[in-house]
Amino acid sequence: MNVEAIDEIIASNPKLKNAREELALMEPGAYCVHRSWGFGLITDYDATEQRLIIDFEGGRQGHPMDPAFCVGKLEILPAESILVKARTEPEVVGEMLKKRPIDVIMEILSQSPSGQVSTLEIERQLGYLMEPEKVRKWWTATKKLLVKDPRIGVPAKKTGNYELREEPVTPEEEIMEEFYATQQSKQKILLAEKLFQLANDKAELKKYLPDVLKTLTDAILETRVLTQAERLHGVWVRNDLARDTHADVESLSPTSSSIIIEREDELIKLAEELPAAYYGRFLDLLTRVYPDKWEDVIIDLVRHSEGKFTNECIHFLVDNDKEELLATSFDRWLNDQTIRGPILLWLLKNRGSRKYANLVDPFVNARLLKAIFFAIDFESLQNASTRRIPLADAITDDTTLIPEILKGSTEETARDLAQMLMLNQGFEDLTKKSLLVRFIRVFPSIQNLATRESEDKEAEGLIVSQPSLDVRKAEYEELISKKIPENKKAIEIAREHGDLKENSEYKMARQDQQVLMARKAELETDFGRVRVSDFTDAGVEEIAVGSVVNLTQTSNKKNYRYAFLGAWDSDPERNILSYKTPLGQSLIGQKVGDKVTIEVDRESREYTVDSIERWVEVSKDF
């Protein structure tokens, strides 16, 4: 854009006086990037209309734009930019991407005045250099190479910047500098692990080894600041460094075995706090610490495990020819109704697996589905939050499981299972109806359950106290009068920012809207079911809503006293619980002398009902 054109633009818009240099760059032949429309080429300038003519990649050709509007929004790229070279010398850049990926990043960093570029900015530029679906794979592979390149500083956190170094520094030197600078024992362990993983020539570690091993050992002994899992992780890292340089790891204290023996009463906690990459090593260690009973130890871990550790334990036992032991354990836990969600989830996910067919197939029956429904219902009662239940999601997504099980079941069994589903608190109503359809396709007569459930739902009450209802009504009023209107306004403002696909404010506002409207609907449904009670109807013959119960735990003879009030009255610190809690549901209807069993903290506990009192008479004690 020539001087005369720029003068005319500034004359018509004096606020652009300080943007003269930026406007001068907007000339035909210049490549540019617009924050919303992407990569483009300025092909012409229409002086009459005072419009730049830009061809944007992706179909927006010959697009006129007001230069004034482009200030601060249109990035003009220098001719030496790799993004420009990708258009003017595509063969050269193509070869760099394939054979010299680090040079690509060097080019990007060299274009930054500070020599530093964020991860997000690098990924943005890569999106203009290759097809979007290839970026992630290319960038993942390249990051591993960058870590070992002495010319580039790699950020310790995702939010940090990649940096072009003035003087090359080897990865080992950089890590050692951080290792000695940090005062945190956990960070020293992580850096030592990184040192072991990155060192190309393990012999190079020898010059660092004596000091590193001593410092690591001192860190591992800091039991006040490290958990047992972190200490065990540190021992393994130290041993890896020592073993690879031919040091005698058995002479280094503490040993991994000593940490296991110290905490053999809480192995499951120790295991689940370890990095997932060390699960296999942990299980292998148990076979050496407990040579005569490792199978029983690991079976107990399976029973109480979660997530990836569940998978690792089962895989380990199968790989060590303990499939029959696993099958026997699964069968016993199913019969006892003590099988937990993570194991059921593993059985679901490995249904149809060739490797585990002999182990899994015998359990794909009505008994499994009953256990799944029980586990989902139990987890929903234990968790007051709205977080999703993985097992519920899995059975919803697995469209063939229910029909497969029902084909080998009687109609009576199918009806019982359908009834369990309709009473289950772990599924939303729409999901229940969707799952019930799968029952009806196999047994059409189950259709009448849906109708009856709908009628029962309308009649079902939710017992609450007046104060707790007032709190919910106040929440509802705030939603209606304040939060929802504020959210609506936020959406309108966000819309004005343009291009909704790239508008993060708009997306966040819409997500907030979904949460608010869901809560509004939930409260409205609850209000239609509530039955207010002052708890004066509760007697002392059997436990009811409004009872105060004195219990004794069978195993340790410890006494407990709880009040069971309305659905929204829980105050655990005062020993006031909702009748909807698992303990409340187990006790309602019980009498003095009755015994109840409930699972608490992964173990079954038996309680005896010693006495029953009325809340209205003893509430002052709480």
Summarised one tens digit per residue, pLDDT across range 65-95 is: 998 889 888 999 999 999 999 999 999 999 9
Backbone angles phi and psi of 256, in degrees to 5 = -65, -35
**Residue bearing the bigger pLDDT, 333 or 209:** 333
What is the rounded CA–CA span in Å between residue 43 and residue 61? 10
- Domain ranges within the chain, ordered by starting residue: 3-76, 82-146, 172-336, 390-459, 463-532, 547-621
| DSSP 8-class letter at 131 | -
508-561 pLDDT per residue, tens? 877 787 788 778 878 887 888 889 999 998 889 999 999 999 999 988 889 999
State the CATH class of domain 463-532: mainly alpha
Dihedral sign for Cα atoms in the order 317, 322, 323, 324: negative
- Mean pLDDT confidence for 171-194: 81
The continuous run of DSSP H or E covering 213 comes out as: helix 209-220
pLDDT bracket for residue 598 (50, 70, 90)? confident
Helix (H, G, I), strand (E, B) or coil at 255: coil
Q: Is the pLDDT of residue 136 over 80?
A: yes
* Bridging pattern class, strands 530-532 and 462-464: parallel
pLDDT confidence of residue 274: 94
**CATH fold group of domain 547-621:** Chitinase A; domain 3 (3.10.50)
Share of the chain above pLDDT 70, in %: 91
Q: Is the pLDDT of residue 459 over 50?
A: no
| Amino acid in position 101 | P
CA 167 to chain centre: 40
What is the rounded CA–CA span in Å between residue 316 and residue 303? 14
- Mean pLDDT confidence for 432-457: 76
pLDDT bracket for residue 147 (50, 70, 90)? confident
pLDDT confidence of residue 137: 94
Q: Is the pLDDT of residue 615 over 70?
A: yes
- Residues 376 and 341 sit within 8 Å (Cβ to Cβ): yes
**Residue bearing the bigger pLDDT, 513 or 349:** 349
- Mean pLDDT confidence for 588-603: 83
pLDDT bracket for residue 25 (50, 70, 90)? very high
293-304 pLDDT per residue, tens? 999 999 999 999
Q: Is the pLDDT of residue 245 over 70?
A: no
pLDDT bracket for residue 496 (50, 70, 90)? low
- Residues 378 and 337 sit within 8 Å (Cβ to Cβ): no
State the CATH class of domain 3-76: mainly beta
Of 154-163, 294-303, 536-545, 595-604, the one with minimum mean pLDDT is 595-604
- Work out the angle at residue 467's Cα, subtended by the Cα atoms of residues 463 and 473, and round it to the nearest 5 degrees: 85
- Work out the angle at residue 318's Cα, subtended by the Cα atoms of residues 312 and 319, and round it to the nearest 5 degrees: 85
What is the rounded CA–CA span in Å between residue 426 and residue 432? 9
What is the rounded CA–CA span in Å between residue 303 and residue 267? 12
pLDDT bracket for residue 62 (50, 70, 90)? very high
